[in-house]
């Protein structure tokens, strides 16, 4: 029945063709978005009736007195006439909004159409915002559309393009009033046109008719304790007022989104009408005797009714309230209250919830308490310097305030670069109505003294007063001294601007506000990559990137570098782009993920995170692949080459008796196995060629494969180093100032400049930890076949040096730890000296600190010198250990009276590179 009753465009509709033929209703339906006014519903079955009031009648029939509009247009039903008259007054605003909605949509389409395909300017704007504003509270970022007002650095706030002085001149007033009424400003904010006096008066009457508060709101305000802050009461009352929301009902009924603004408009009108009695009731219950706010006079304007509800009948105070409510109404869309209201409203929350959220933001000390802070500061100044202070005393007090690290409240503005016009109009009001007030005189004196002092200080871009420098003084003068209530007045005024913007947000169909947040790590990554891409845009590609396998094996891709270096010296422009696998961002991210998993695992098991395990997990594939190649080169290839050489030398032995029988191809391979059992078997010429080819093959493979493999291993070490440096850098960005003030700075510098370099060679030696024992065992077996027990002497000599090398390694670790500690201390003190250089210069402490750093460096050099001695000893082992082992082997052969042949000597000597 609900949908059928609304099938007419206007006037009275009736229906009796449903399943209940005796069911009938008379409904006035002027707009499908408005609640219908029901005359009655009659039905024999209450369970099917969805309307109230209803009449139960077993014989309900349609009255002959009900006339259908299609039957008689000349005699509309009385109900329709009354309903039509009730909403006629608001029709002008809706009509203007419909027209302006279409115009604004066309205007936005034209702007988008003229952007063009080149979005570089928009891209640069985005980059600037990300790099300069993301950590500054988004100040200056242009991310919102606000049609109602804008903030000009020179003219201050402009309402629909009109400055404060222009609004004071052009907005309508009451017949006997001197200040414009807020109703005119609201009309301007919503429609964009200056209203006539009749239009503003019509708005006043409509707000008066909508001002009645629901019983549950009144009960809440009467029951709430007086200790609850007035702003909390205002926010809560507006929140529970959403039971009256027309938008909620329209949304639930499935109204099209293009019509959202119509029900939003109804809610906004109701909320503005009801916010003044709510605020007045809060004031009377909290600060007065809790008496009734009285009735709203439809013949009076919004500000007058508000003042009478507060209990003030002074017409000068009424004029002040008209001024106050007008100039505080809107302040573009970026401030906390306006932005919060827009943000919550973008989620399609009704105006009551959106406005309540904005009031919670306004209650914050950094937004809505500025005028109270000014008043407290003025009262303190008055107490210190008296009610009639001299200019010098005021200057002295202001300098005292500034030197104590505080600011002068009420002065300075984030955007304005001149005196706030809102301050000016309040000052003009005070000069007319309270020129002899002592507190106002102090405000005037401060206005004269503060700007020159702030200019002299040079730290404030705008040394001029803002709106908060005056408003509290005016309210105090007329007896409104409850400072905790001032923010409620601010909130009542701000309702005009934020709710007008909310109407436009729904009219333009703005989507839900959902800015993209970003973590510090991701921001650093994006900025770094963006800068890297810009810096590398002109760099040539890495020569190894497009090199073929033959070029990689022979290192031919480096020939251009040598040719270029021969012609001229290298400079920064000759640097190439790094390989993708070497980029720190990629390596650091990969290691960071695994490290986070390791930290979580360690915390769960109450263990210490293991970086070594994480590194192996991150680079295990590369490590195993290159370890396999190293094993093939160090064991099969290197151990076979002395065998080939020994058999080749046997061919040239005078005792070699060459057989004349032809040698079949399979015999070449079998000869290698016969070498173990038939050492003196003759070598034929074909075999000699085979063994010579084997020597050449091993040398060729050693040259062509071993060096690229070694370079690949060092590349993995470099990637480990880069990844660890990236991890250390990310960690330092998360350290607090307390941690950075300790030895952490020197430790970080030492880690990234010295310690991580060990990874470059560590992975190379890592493979020899497991290759060397196997290599030594096989080498011992082969040498035993040549020289028998004498081979054990040489291997034993090598094994004898292992404990000594281990001891040297242990001492090296101890000295390296001492070196790191002393380097950390020196770097930390150098960092402190650089930070305090001005103080050191001022007190001429250069020589004292230079001596201190010199002493730290001397102690560091003592440890470095000891480390160098041990390192030199270890390096010497590499040179003479294997030679000494060969010497002992040959000596053992001689002492055992065994013959020494060229074959044995060359084979033993050729084993030297294979010995660990």
Which residues are known to be catalytic? 367, 413, 468
Phi, psi of 431 (to 5 degrees): -60, -30
Phi, psi of 37 (to 5 degrees): -95, 115
Phi, psi of 34 (to 5 degrees): -105, 155
Residue 645 exposed, middle or buried by CB count within 10 Å (0-12, 13-18, 19+) = buried
Burial 356-367 (b: 16+ CB within 10 A, else e): bbbbbbbbeeee
Residue 59, SS3? coil
Q: Are 337 and 362 in contact (CB under 8 A)?
A: yes
Concatenate the DSSP letters of all residues of 4-53 into one string: HHT-SSSSEE----SS-TT-EEEEE-S-TTSPPEEEEEEES-GGG--SSS
Phi, psi of 810 (to 5 degrees): -65, -45
Going by the DSSP 8-state scheme, the letter that residue 63 receives in this structure is: -
How many Å apart are CA 248 and CA 255, to the nearest integer?
Answer: 10
C-alpha dihedral sign at 696, 697, 698, 703: positive
From the list 552, 541, 548, the residue with the least C-alpha distance to 575 is 541
Alpha helices (runs of H) in 302-433, residue ranges in sequence order: 302-310, 315-327, 336-346, 351-362, 370-385, 391-403, 421-433
Helices H / strands E in the chain, number of each: 37, 7
Which own/partner pairs from 737-741 qualify as long-range (CB within 8 Å, at least 24 positions apart)?
none
Bond prior to 636 in cis (omega within 30° of 0): no
CA distances from 367 to 358, 689, 790 (A): 11, 95, 93
Count of all residues that appear for the chain in the document:
916
The residues, ordered by sequence, that sit 6+ positions from 644 with a Cβ below 8 Å of its Cβ are 691, 692, 694, 695, 698
- SS3 labels along 564-633: HHHHCCCCHHHCCCCCHHHCHHHHHHHHHHHHHHHHHHHHHHCCCCCHHHHHHHHHHHHHHHHHHHHHHH
Residue 237, SS3? helix
CA distances from 27 to 72, 80, 91, 612, 748 (A): 16, 9, 20, 81, 80
How many Å apart are CA 372 and CA 365, to the nearest integer?
Answer: 10
How many Å apart are CA 505 and CA 101, to the nearest integer?
Answer: 10
Task: Name residue 151's beta-bridge partners.
Answer: 157
Task: Name residue 25's beta-bridge partners.
Answer: 41
Q: Are 234 and 285 in contact (CB under 8 A)?
A: no
């Amino acid at each position: 029945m609900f949908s059928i009753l609304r099938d007419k465009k206007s006037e009275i509709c009736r229906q009796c063709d449903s399943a209940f033929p005796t069911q009938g209703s008379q409904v006035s339906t002027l707009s499908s978005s408005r609640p219908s006014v029901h005359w009655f519903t009659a039905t024999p079955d209450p369970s099917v009736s969805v309307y109230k009031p209803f009449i139960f009648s077993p014989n309900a029939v349609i009255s002959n007195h009900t006339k259908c509009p299609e039957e008689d247009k000349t005699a509309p039903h009385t109900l329709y006439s009354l309903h039509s008259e009730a909403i006629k007054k608001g029709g002008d605003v809706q009509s203007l909004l419909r027209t302006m909605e279409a115009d604004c949509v066309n205007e936005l389409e034209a702007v988008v159409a003229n952007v063009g395909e080149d979005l570089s300017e928009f891209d640069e704007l985005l980059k600037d915002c990300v790099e300069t504003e993301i950590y500054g509270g988004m100040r200056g970022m242009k991310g919102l559309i606000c049609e109602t007002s804008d903030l000009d650095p020179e003219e201050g706030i402009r309402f629909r393009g009109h400055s404060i002085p222009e609004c004071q001149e052009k907005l309508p007033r009451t017949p006997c009033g001197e200040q414009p009424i807020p109703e005119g400003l609201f009309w301007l904010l919503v429609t964009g046109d200056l209203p006539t006096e009749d239009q503003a008066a019509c708005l006043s009457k409509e707000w008066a008719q909508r001002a009645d508060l629901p019983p549950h709101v009144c009960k809440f305000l009467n029951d709430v304790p007086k200790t609850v802050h007035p702003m909390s009461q205002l926010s809560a009352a507006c929140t529970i007022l959403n039971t009256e929301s027309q938008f909620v009902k329209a949304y639930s009924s499935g109204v099209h989104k293009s019509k959202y603004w119509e029900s939003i408009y109804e809610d906004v009108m109701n909320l503005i009408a009801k916010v003044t009695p709510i605020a007045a009731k809060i004031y009377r219950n909290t600060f007065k005797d809790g008496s009734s706010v009285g009735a709203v006079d439809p013949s009076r304007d919004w500000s007058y009714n508000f003042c009478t509800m507060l209990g003030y009948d002074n017409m000068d105070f009424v004029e002040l309230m008209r001024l106050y409510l007008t100039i505080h109404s809107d302040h573009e869309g970026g401030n906390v209250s306006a932005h919060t209201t827009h943000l919550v409203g973008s989620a399609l929350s009704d105006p009551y919830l959106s406005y309540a959220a904005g009031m919670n933001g306004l209650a914050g000390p950094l937004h809505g308490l500025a005028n109270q802070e000014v008043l407290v500061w003025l009262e303190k100044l008055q107490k210190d310097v008296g009610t009639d202070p001299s200019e010098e005393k005021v200057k002295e007090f202001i300098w005292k305030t500034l030197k104590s690290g505080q600011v002068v409240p009420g002065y300075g503005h984030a955007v304005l670069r001149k005196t706030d016009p809102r301050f000016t109009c309040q000052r003009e009001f005070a000069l007319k109505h309270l020129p002899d007030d002592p507190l106002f005189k102090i405000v005037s004196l401060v206005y004269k003294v503060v700007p020159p002092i702030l200019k002299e200080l040079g730290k404030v871009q705008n040394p001029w007063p803002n709106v908060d420098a005056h408003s509290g003084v005016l309210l105090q003068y007329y007896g409104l001294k409850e400072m905790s209530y001032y923010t409620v007045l601010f909130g009542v005024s701000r309702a005009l601007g934020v709710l007008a913007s909310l109407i436009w947000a729904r009219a333009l169909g703005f989507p839900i506000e959902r800015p993209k947040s970003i973590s510090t790590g991701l921001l650093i990554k994006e900025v770094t990559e963006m800068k890297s891409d810009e810096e590398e845009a002109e760099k040539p590609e890495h020569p190894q990137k497009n090199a073929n396998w033959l070029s990689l094996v022979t290192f031919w891709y480096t020939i251009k570098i040598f040719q270029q270096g021969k012609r001229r010296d290298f400079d920064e422009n000759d640097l190439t782009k790094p390989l993708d696998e070497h980029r720190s961002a990629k390596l650091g991210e990969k290691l960071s993920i695994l490290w986070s998993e390791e930290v979580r695992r360690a915390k769960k098991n109450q263990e210490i995170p293991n970086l070594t395990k994480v590194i192996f997990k991150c680079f295990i594939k590369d490590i195993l692949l290159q370890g396999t190649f190293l094993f093939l080169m160090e064991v099969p290839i290197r151990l076979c080459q002395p065998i080939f050489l020994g058999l080749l030398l046997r061919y040239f032995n005078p005792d070699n008796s060459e057989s004349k029988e032809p040698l079949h191809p399979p015999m070449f391979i079998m000869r290698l196995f016969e070498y173990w059992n038939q050492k003196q078997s003759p070598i034929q010429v074909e075999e000699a060629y085979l063994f010579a080819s084997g020597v050449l093959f091993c040398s060729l493979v050693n040259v062509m494969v071993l060096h690229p493999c070694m370079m690949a291993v060092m590349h993995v070490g470099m990637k480990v180093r880069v990844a660890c440096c990236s991890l250390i850098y990310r960690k330092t960005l998360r350290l607090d100032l307390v941690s950075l003030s300790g030895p952490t700075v020197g430790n970080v510098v030492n880690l990234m400049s010295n310690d991580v370099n060990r990874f470059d060679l560590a992975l190379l030696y890592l493979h020899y930890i497991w290759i060397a024992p196997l290599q030594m065992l096989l080498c011992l077996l082969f040498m035993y076949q040549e020289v028998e027990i004498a081979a054990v002497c040489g291997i034993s000599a090598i094994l004898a040096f292992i404990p000594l090398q281990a001891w040297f390694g242990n001492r090296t670790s101890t000295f390296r730890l001492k070196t790191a500690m002393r380097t950390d201390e020196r770097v930390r003190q150098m960092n402190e000296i650089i930070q305090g250089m001005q103080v050191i210069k001022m007190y001429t402490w250069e020589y004292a600190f230079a001596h201190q750093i010199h002493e730290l460096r001397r102690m560091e050099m003592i440890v470095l010198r000891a480390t160098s001695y041990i390192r030199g000893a270890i390096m010497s082992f590499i040179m003479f250990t294997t030679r000494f082992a060969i010497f002992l082997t040959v000596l053992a052969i001689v002492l055992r009276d065994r013959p020494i042949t060229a074959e044995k000597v060359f084979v033993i000597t050729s084993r030297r590179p294979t010995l660990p």
